[in-house]
């Protein structure tokens, strides 16, 4: 009897926990090219009025497998988990446009979703991190005369927190190395489309789709977590973002995880909490117990890779 009671109690608690979050699946935010692009909306029992847009993307591929709220709802954030069109059918510039549309859709329907339209954060990892930064640095203004109500509002996000994002496609591990075939412009060419089949096209796509070149004083507060042993995205990417942000007066902070690879380090749970604190600070004005005051001079240095000696 005691075991039965314990099992019943555990089941009741689990059901109660699940019911704390309301999930609305397959909300369509865009239709084009014969496809419907969707998001799932996770609403906590006690929403704080702010939103987090979670970009589902790995290698600029996106799908509906394993969608979850990422833990943001436990901090009170209404969470929009956005799926985008996958490369190579859809190229990165088209993916960025669709994600801009997703933010505009959320803002246009803010009252329906119970959020403040001026309290929208965005997050993602790897390609999802890159797309998060693109949303932060490339903003489409609203057109008050547009027929579509979604187009009447802007694609602006108000804070960014992401993991190991590609930042600069023209200089991947070192300055100008894309000309040597280094980095995604070559290794992930199908994601960029036919434009990268020429040197001129690669230069154009690399600049237009690199968040680094679009940082301005108006770029929203951005927090990046990056491992210094990442085999896919060099930590110099995050460092360059921070340096450029400081040059133009944008608010940005970088946390370098020593020995961190491309995700999966033991401190990642702590980093998720820190990101929630970043959103709470910049979307809700809630001060964290430990202030954010990172400076690039405090980051561990990484030597610039040398060219192999000529034989």
Is residue 195 included in any domain, yes or no? no
List pLDDT tens digits, range 115-124: 999 999 999 9
pLDDT tens digits for 206-215?
999 999 999 9
State the pLDDT at residue 173: 96
Using 50, 70 and 90 to split pLDDT, how confident is the model at 2?
Answer: very low
Q: 1 falls in which pLDDT band (50, 70, 90)?
A: very low
Give backbone dihedrals phi and psi of 257, rounded to 5 degrees, phi first: -95, 110
Is the pTM higher than 0.85? The answer reads: yes
pLDDT at residue 16 above 50? no
Lowest mean pLDDT among 6-10, 47-51, 190-194, 296-300: 6-10
pLDDT score of 299: 52
Return d(Cα 155, Cα 45) in angstroms, integer: 27
pLDDT, residue 194, reads: 97
| pLDDT tens column, 163-199 | 999 999 999 999 999 999 999 999 999 999 999 999 9
Q: Let me know if residue 248 belongs to a domain.
A: yes
Mean local confidence (pLDDT), 99-121: 98
In a domain, 276, yes or no: yes
36 has which bridge partners?
31
Cα radius of gyration rounded to whole Å, the chain? 20
Predicted pLDDT at 88: 97
pLDDT exceeds 50 at position 36 = yes
Q: Is 249 left (phi over 0), alpha (psi -120 to 50) or beta?
A: left
Q: Kindly indicate the confidence band of residue 293, based on its pLDDT and cuts at 50, 70 and 90.
A: confident
Q: What is the mean pLDDT of the chain?
A: 90
Asked if residue 221 belongs to a domain, the reply is yes
| Domain contains 251 | yes
Which CATH number do you get for residue 47?
3.40.50.1820
87 has a pLDDT exceeding 50: yes
CA distance 159 to 141: 17
**Structural domain boundaries, residue 101:** 21-168+210-285
Distance CA 45, CA 27 (A): 20
Average pLDDT value for residue range 24-35: 96
CA distance 280 to 270: 15
Q: Could you give the CA distance from residue 174 to residue 115 in angstroms, rounded to a whole number?
A: 42
Beta strand 159-163 with 120-125: parallel, antiparallel or unpaired? parallel
User: Measuring CA to CA, how many Å separate 23 from each of 64, 82, 176, 253?
Assistant: 14, 13, 45, 32
If one counts every other C-beta atom within 10 angstroms of the C-beta of residue 237, the result is 27
Over residues 236-251, the pLDDT tens digits come to: 999 999 999 999 999 9
In a domain, 310, yes or no: no
Distance of CA 188 to the CA centre of its chain: 19
With a cut of 50, say whether residue 64 has pLDDT above it: yes
- In a domain, residue 189? The reply is no
What token pair was written down for 261?
Answer: 């690879």
Determine, yes or no, domain membership for 10.
no
Q: How far apart (Å, rounded) are the C-alpha atoms in residues 111 and 62?
A: 28
Query: Cβ distance 205 to 192 under 8 Å?
Result: yes
How many domains are contained in the chain?
Answer: 1
């Amino acid at each position: 009897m005691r075991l039965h009671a314990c099992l019943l109690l555990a089941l009741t608690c689990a059901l109660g926990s699940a019911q704390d979050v309301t999930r609305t699946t397959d909300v369509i935010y865009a239709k084009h090219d014969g496809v419907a692009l969707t998001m799932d909306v996770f609403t906590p029992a006690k929403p704080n009025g702010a939103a987090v847009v979670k970009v589902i993307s790995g290698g600029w591929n996106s799908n509906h497998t394993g969608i979850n709220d990422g833990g943001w709802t436990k901090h009170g954030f209404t969470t929009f988990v956005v799926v985008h069109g996958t490369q190579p059918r859809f190229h990165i510039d088209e993916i960025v446009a669709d994600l801009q549309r997703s933010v505009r859709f959320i803002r246009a329907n803010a009252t329906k979703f119970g959020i403040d339209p001026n309290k929208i954060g965005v997050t993602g990892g790897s390609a999802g991190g890159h797309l998060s930064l693109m949303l932060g640095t490339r903003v489409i203004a609203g057109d008050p005369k547009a027929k579509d109500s979604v187009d009447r509002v802007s694609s602006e996000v108000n804070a960014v927190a992401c993991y190991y994002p590609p930042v600069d496609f023209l200089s991947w591990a070192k300055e100008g190395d894309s000309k040597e075939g280094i980095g995604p412009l070559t290794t992930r060419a199908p994601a960029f489309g036919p434009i990268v089949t020429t040197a001129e096209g690669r230069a154009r796509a690399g600049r237009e789709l690199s968040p680094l070149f679009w940082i301005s004083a108006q770029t929203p507060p951005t927090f990046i977590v990056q491992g210094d042993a990442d085999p896919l995205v060099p930590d110099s990417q995050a460092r360059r973002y921070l340096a450029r942000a400081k040059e133009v007066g944008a608010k940005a902070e970088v946390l370098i995880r020593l020995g961190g690879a491309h995700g999966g380090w033991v401190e990642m749970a702590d980093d998720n909490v820190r990101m929630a604190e970043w959103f709470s600070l910049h979307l809700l004005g809630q001060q964290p117990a430990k202030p954010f005051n990172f400076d690039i001079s405090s980051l561990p240095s990484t030597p610039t890779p040398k060219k192999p000696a000529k034989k």
